[in-house]
Amino acid sequence: MFPSSISRWTKAGALALSVLVTTATGGCRERSWTLWDAYVSHFVDDQGRVIEHSAGDRTTSEGQSYGMFFSLADNDRPRFDRILAWTRDNMAAGDLGKHLPGWVWGKAPDGQWKLIDTNPAADSDCWIAYDLLEAGRLWNNPSYTSQGRQMLALIAKEEVADLPGFGSMLMPGPSQLWLHNNAWTLNPSYVPLFLFQRFAEVDPAGPWGAVAMNIPRFLRQSAIHGFAMDWVQYVPGDGFYPAPPPGAAQPAAPDAAKTSKSPVAGAQKTEDPKAAAAAAEAKAPMGSYDAIRVYLWAGMIDGSGHARADILSAVPGMGALFANSARTGPPEKVSPQGIPGDSDGPVGFSAAVLPYLWAQPALAHAAAQQKVRISAQLNPASGLYGAQPVYYDQNLLLFAKGYLDGRFHFGPRGELKVEWTR
C-alpha cells in the first residue's frame, strides 16, 4: 500500500514506471529457479563465463550457449547479456556475425588463458543462434534478432552439407573438416528438432526445413538396435555406421568427454597399460555422454503433431530397455553393436531420459523411478545434484527439470514458450 501522504499522480507515475520496467525486460520472474541459481553460484562468474571446474576450469561454447538459454528461460536479461558479451569477445573475435565461436577457451600450454581450440562446434552455434532469435522475439529486441540471423547465415554457409544420397544435414563444424575418404562424420545429439523447426520459420529460404525433415530419418538410420550413438559416419550408398570420437584420447573426467572439436588432433602416447586401455576404450565407438542428449531433445519436442512420435520411434532402444528390464538408471555406455553396458550412467543421464520416458505413457513407471533416483542425489548444501556436482550433469538436469516443471517448452514450430510471459 502507498502511504496516504503520497499523491495520486505519484502513484500513477510509479505504476507507469513498473509497466515500463516490465515491458523492457519482457515480463517478470514468476518464481525462483533454485537449481539455476545454484548452478550460477557454482559455475558462472561475474563476467558471464561458464566454468567447467572438473576439466581444468575451461569454458566451452556449449556451456555458454546453455547459459544463455537458461538466462532467457529465467527472464534474466542482464546475465544473458554478460554471457553473450563474454562469448563474443573471447570466443568469436568480437563479432558473432563474422566469426562462429571457437569451442574451447582455457589455460594453454604456455600458461596463458585464451581460446585454445578455434574450431567451432555446430551444436553450440545453433543453440546460440536460437537463443538470440528467441531473445529478440521475447524481449522485443531487434539487435538480438539481427545477430541470430547473421549466425544462421554463417552456420548455413559453413556447417551444413548435402550428403550424397541422403540430403541436407548439420555437420559437427566446418563441413570440409568432417569429410575424409568420401565419408562424413556426424553427431546425432547436435540436431534437436525444435531448433531447426524454428530456423525454418525465421529463414524459410535457408536449408533448415530440409534439415528438419531429414532429422527423424538420420536418427533412425544411425541408431543401432534403437540406441543413439555418440558419433557416426556416413558412407554414400552404404549408410551410417558407429564412429569413434574425433581427436585425442579422452580424459578421465566424464563431463569432459569431448576433448577436441578438431577431427585431426593426434592421440597422446602413454606407457601405462591401464591408461592405454582406458584411452582405447574412450576412443571406441559407443552411445554415451553425447548420445544421451538425443533422448532429452526427443522428449521435449511439442507433442501436438506427429514430430515427437517420429523422433521417439527413431530411437526406441532406451524405452524398450526400461520396459523389459529392472534397470535403476540408463546405461553409461551402449556398445557399437547396440548392447547396453551394465553400469548405470550418472544422475544427469536419468534427467536426460526423463522427458523421453514421460512422453510415452507406457513408460510412466520407469519415469517415476528415475525421478526417485534424481531426488536421492540432491545435495542440500549446494542445491545441486551429486556429492561433487559435475557441470554436464547439472545442464542435463536444468533442461529436463525446467521443461517438466513448466518453466519453458517448445511450440509446434520450435518457438520457445516461457513461464514468465504468462
Q: What is the pLDDT of residues 9-20, one digit of tens each?
A: 333 333 333 333
**379: helix, strand or coil:** strand
* 23 within a domain of the structure (yes/no): no
Active-site residue, from 52, 62, 203, 419: 62
For the chain, report the end-to-end CA distance as a whole number of angstroms.
25
* 3 within a domain of the structure (yes/no): no
Predicted local confidence at residue 318, as pLDDT: 98
* 14 within a domain of the structure (yes/no): no
**CATH number of domain containing 44:** 1.50.10.10
Which residues in the chain come in under a pLDDT of 70? 1-30, 248-282
Asked if residue 96 lies in contact with residue 89, where contact means CB atoms within 8 angstroms, the answer is no
Q: Give the total number of structural domains in the chain.
A: 1
Active-site residue, from 52, 74, 117, 123: 123
* 390 within a domain of the structure (yes/no): yes
Predicted local confidence at residue 93, as pLDDT: 97
Q: What whole-number distance in Å separates Cα of residue 369 and Cα of residue 191?
A: 28
Predicted local confidence at residue 262, as pLDDT: 53
Asked if residue 358 lies in contact with residue 374, where contact means CB atoms within 8 angstroms, the answer is no
Domain residues for 174?
Answer: 31-259+277-421
Predicted local confidence at residue 283, as pLDDT: 81
Residue 123 catalytic?
Answer: yes
* 4 within a domain of the structure (yes/no): no
**Phi/psi of residue 281, each to 5°?**
-65, -40
* 79 within a domain of the structure (yes/no): yes
What does the block give as the cell for 319? 524405452
* 266 within a domain of the structure (yes/no): no
* 11 within a domain of the structure (yes/no): no
